[in-house]
Structure 1
């Protein structure tokens, strides 16, 4: 599916395997909250136990062990933080295990090493090492850093813990991929400039770590700001992965269904959607809702045929075959149940909340200018009891972005409609907050009649095609246009200056990071440009153009974000930033 050298999931998996396989004997694995999530994305509990790991614990939850654990070797994998240093000192002062192999997910300061040496009074530490698996790798081409909000809005943002986490994460990505990049950033974003400059200094300070062999052309690290495209995270989604995240929330490839109607027993409370271990999900994650329904039906039909074949157990041979196949049968049964359950839950939400109608209007606002018509339609939806408050707010937000230049009076009726629909002032204030943070004045030269992102999206859409797919997936992320320019060597230096290295004319390896969060719609766009999935974009779209250029140049792209947004988390980030701005 992916180029081995441009596969962030493979890189993190390799680090995890090295940690678990380099030490013989029975082992315990001690993690912190972040590394537990990072390792959990690339190694299941079953895979971990295959390496003689009998115990997996959080370092902060450790209680003093007993003598029976002294023959066990402890692998400690944590981030190099002050909190973890304190916990390690406490553990080493009264060690529970016979040996400690301490691995950090990022570079270690000399003072931290000195602290550990002082604490190791019993001489139990055998090895201290850096493994740069400091990111959440969701797919070969997608990662995030679990940072929300992404930095603050104050002048001291470069001192914030969120900012440092972003620098650490990007630094680790480059080392995991073994890439010393050219760094370019969105000139209109102070946040991206700060990230670029700090990361460049970090690379220079640790230049001995970047002596990689065999790389003829430096890859590009392109830093973008979410504020340049506030529309993409506001839209309802219709592909399996993105739709699941929007309607049910997908956190590190897991969906919790405890509050869903009719769900709440056994292992269906939390389901795992991981393309590494689920062939059906891998084949369907980027397909639209209609295709998904057909394929789930085929999955059920196929399972029923297999099930009928196990009904006859007349002979000992029949029973032996059934027992041999039972684990696979049980696994298949669970997989079928999982996807049927998810499809059922998604269908319920779509029907209950009029999402087909809501989404059609969202797409129309995003891709076509018709102020009077759109205002009347939005007002109509604000009065509908079937449309959720959240969707009503998103419609007004999209309208306010599209027609911002029309002035506040144009929004008066819509704002009043939100109040009448039962939304409180904390939610209604997001209209102004979004305009302030990502409106026309905050975006690069965002005049709707020339180079705004909505104008670009509109120009790439040929209206009038038949079929549901076109109606609900007309919108194209701004990222597609930026990547098209990047691959074709048309990215303007005035708009995306260089802070580290010399940019090549064409880019064969690109890591693009969106400060403020990426989306699964953008992930699908990158997967399509990389050629990982069949082409679905319209022929005159930026995605199709970038895919053609990528195929010609052999370009591979990895997408990262401070987090992976759905509309709810995006609006939470807008609200958090607004609070920080008002108190700074």
Structure 2
């Protein structure tokens, strides 16, 4: 159950089947990202892939008949036509074609007719049609999946293909459960099931449950059941970088930050390619600060040692260790750049104060005291308007039906600061109590909230430990699954013929329509460390900004039924 390993095996297969010798690889926009998130360019060079080209970037007249061409593309209509044009006038000597998902026979026949020079040596399907973010986390990079709270057709089609590819690459034929009452969840479950039935030969894996074990589970969830998790500031390394700097396809763009060295304006953050990041992506802000401090001290010690090159033996030792020394130098510099910016933003935006209040609203029911604190903090010019809006959004979600709920007056304060007040009523329409299956705020362990503390990490001035008492709904749900609890009322099965098993599943793939988060990935990581087997995926991986944009897109053009009392406080230019 390792997604990065699954993608790597497919790419290794492509490189090996094309035989020895120099190769080029022809990609589309999405498969370029799929490859780059699993392999570095130097990794591909070691596999004799020396040239990377895009199928959709226009053709050159140069012929390179001495090169073999690996074609790795998604089986879209546009790609089929572009590949057909390539085969009619082949640029390379031989083509080894791999589609990232199931391709219709009619398209294969069409391509065969276009291959008049008979330059195609292989045509195969490899089910690498998703972006492997972490070994247990995947994304489909669909930033907006709904309009008027219904599936966008293209997003639905892409999601079906992506989830099928994950199941095929992991060799799973699962029980499919979906969130009861969610039309989008049920629609996705039905379409995935229909495709599995249609392609039954592909899903004819050995059924371990016939020997007494429960079949694997595909659990389809709706982001609207837990709108709180994407709104909270994150404090583990990977999640914090995404929240404050934005991770896109395992890359962080620092080009707009003054003083960043040229070589560090775009950084790759891949646990598979960066050992330090892989070991520390789930560490909290204080821990990562201490770890980088120790790494820097070790680097300084080794740098000092390297200055003492006085003999032939010293020179030989330096040359032998130089690659590791250079790699360590780059690692230290890269993570210092990131941590320096995270620290600066944390101070500039008063995020310890903001996050403490966010966590208390999410985890503790004290309406009157919290209302007063929110009023004070959102009126403070030192607090960014965006952070203020998220506080009001959390308050509105928690106290939507409280007798003294005063969201409207908070929106008035946001309005005077020029904030986008429409976000809050849109969020209530998207994921208010009328939409949620259960009450997420009742899950909180009050004793945990009382233990809220700030622990200074000794030896690293100004870095504090984090507020992590919030538990995402996903963790509670998965704990219920692994306890073998009855799931039918809340998560009915679309293929009930596989369900007469009382034992809990051993393998679970969770897919969240509307996007997953790195906080939920942390919960899955913790469960996997405890011996479970869970893969998490989503239409995208959200930070608070992308989640708010998804909410606004999903509710655009709707007539709001549940937030009428708020609307009169919102000016038309903001709404």
Please give the TM-score of this superposition, normalised by the length of structure 1: 0.90
Match of 2:512 in 1: 514
Cα distance in 2 for partners of 1:351, 1:340 equals 16
Match of 1:269 in 2: 265
Bigger Cα displacement from structure 2, 508-517 vs 106-115: 106-115
C-alpha distance after superposition, 1:227-252 (max 9, x if no partner): 00000000001111111110011112
Aligned pairs (5 A) from 1:44-63: 44-63=40-59
1:567 matched to 2:531? no
Query: Shift of the alpha carbon at 1:470?
Result: 8.5
1:179 matched to 2:172? yes
Cα distance in 2 for partners of 1:11, 1:405 equals 47
Match of 2:282 in 1: 286
Query: Shift of the alpha carbon at 1:213?
Result: 2.6
Match of 1:352 among 345, 348, 351: 348
C-alpha distance after superposition, 1:508-535 (max 9, x if no partner): 111111111000000001111111xxxx
Please give the TM-score of this superposition, normalised by the length of structure 2: 0.91
Cα distance in 2 for partners of 1:177, 1:580 equals 40
Q: Tell whether the 8 Å contact from 1:152 to 1:160 is kept in structure 2 after alignment.
A: no
Query: Shift of the alpha carbon at 1:53?
Result: 1.1
Q: Tell whether the 8 Å contact from 1:178 to 1:210 is kept in structure 2 after alignment.
A: yes
Match of 1:440 among 411, 433, 443: 433
Cα distance in 2 for partners of 1:173, 1:248 equals 28
Bigger Cα displacement from structure 2, 299-308 vs 573-582: 573-582
Query: Shift of the alpha carbon at 1:581?
Result: 4.3
Query: Shift of the alpha carbon at 1:461?
Result: 3.0
Aligned pairs (5 A) from 1:225-240: 225-240=222-237
Query: Relative to 1, partners in 2 of residues 1:87 and 1:311: Cα closer, same or farther, differing over 3 Å?
Result: same
Match of 2:160 in 1: 167
Query: Relative to 1, partners in 2 of residues 1:248 and 1:471: Cα closer, same or farther, differing over 3 Å?
Result: closer
Match of 2:391 in 1: 395
Match of 1:248 among 235, 245, 250: 245
Bigger Cα displacement from structure 2, 454-463 vs 275-284: 454-463
Cα distance in 1 for partners of 2:541, 2:58 equals 31
Query: Shift of the alpha carbon at 1:374?
Result: 1.3
C-alpha distance after superposition, 1:292-314 (max 9, x if no partner): 11111100000001111100222
C-alpha distance after superposition, 1:362-381 (max 9, x if no partner): 00000111122111111111
Cα distance in 2 for partners of 1:37, 1:306 equals 36
Query: How many residues align structurally?
Result: 544
Match of 2:571 in 1: none
Match of 2:28 among 5, 28, 32: 32
Query: Shift of the alpha carbon at 1:52?
Result: 1.2
Q: Tell whether the 8 Å contact from 2:364 to 2:446 is kept in structure 1 after alignment.
A: no
Bigger Cα displacement from structure 2, 403-412 vs 197-206: 403-412
Question: Secondary structure in 1 aligned to 2:147?
Answer: coil
Q: Tell whether the 8 Å contact from 1:146 to 1:562 is kept in structure 2 after alignment.
A: yes
Query: Relative to 1, partners in 2 of residues 1:581 and 1:15: Cα closer, same or farther, differing over 3 Å?
Result: farther
Query: Shift of the alpha carbon at 1:122?
Result: 1.7
Aligned pairs (5 A) from 1:184-263: 184-213=177-206, 215-216=208-209, 217-263=214-260
Question: Secondary structure in 2 aligned to 1:60?
Answer: coil
Aligned pairs (5 A) from 1:296-311: 296-311=292-307
Match of 1:132 in 2: 127
Match of 2:526 in 1: 528
Match of 1:141 among 136, 141, 157: 136
Query: Shift of the alpha carbon at 1:557?
Result: 0.7
Match of 2:376 among 364, 380, 383: 380
Question: Secondary structure in 1 aligned to 2:422?
Answer: helix
Query: Shift of the alpha carbon at 1:120?
Result: 1.3
Q: Tell whether the 8 Å contact from 2:129 to 2:161 is kept in structure 1 after alignment.
A: yes
Question: Secondary structure in 2 aligned to 1:126?
Answer: strand
Question: Secondary structure in 2 aligned to 1:224?
Answer: strand
Match of 1:319 in 2: 315
Cα distance in 2 for partners of 1:313, 1:455 equals 64
1:476 matched to 2:463? no
Q: Tell whether the 8 Å contact from 2:94 to 2:120 is kept in structure 1 after alignment.
A: yes
1:456 matched to 2:443? yes
Query: Relative to 1, partners in 2 of residues 1:341 and 1:355: Cα closer, same or farther, differing over 3 Å?
Result: same
Question: Secondary structure in 1 aligned to 2:550?
Answer: helix
C-alpha distance after superposition, 1:472-530 (max 9, x if no partner): 11110001110011111114301110112423321111111111100000000111111
Q: Tell whether the 8 Å contact from 2:148 to 2:558 is kept in structure 1 after alignment.
A: yes
1:21 matched to 2:16? yes
Query: Shift of the alpha carbon at 1:457?
Result: 2.1
Question: Secondary structure in 2 aligned to 1:28?
Answer: strand
C-alpha distance after superposition, 1:97-135 (max 9, x if no partner): 011111100001122112212221222111111000001
In the alignment, structure 2 segments of 5+ residues that lack a partner are 456-463, 561-575
Q: Tell whether the 8 Å contact from 2:284 to 2:465 is kept in structure 1 after alignment.
A: no
Structure 1 moving runs of 4+ over 6 Å: none
In the alignment, structure 1 segments of 5+ residues that lack a partner are 1-5, 447-451, 532-546
Cα distance in 2 for partners of 1:466, 1:75 equals 55
Query: Shift of the alpha carbon at 1:430?
Result: 1.1
Question: Secondary structure in 2 aligned to 1:203?
Answer: helix
Query: Relative to 1, partners in 2 of residues 1:420 and 1:435: Cα closer, same or farther, differing over 3 Å?
Result: same
**Which structure has more helix as a fraction of its residues?**
1
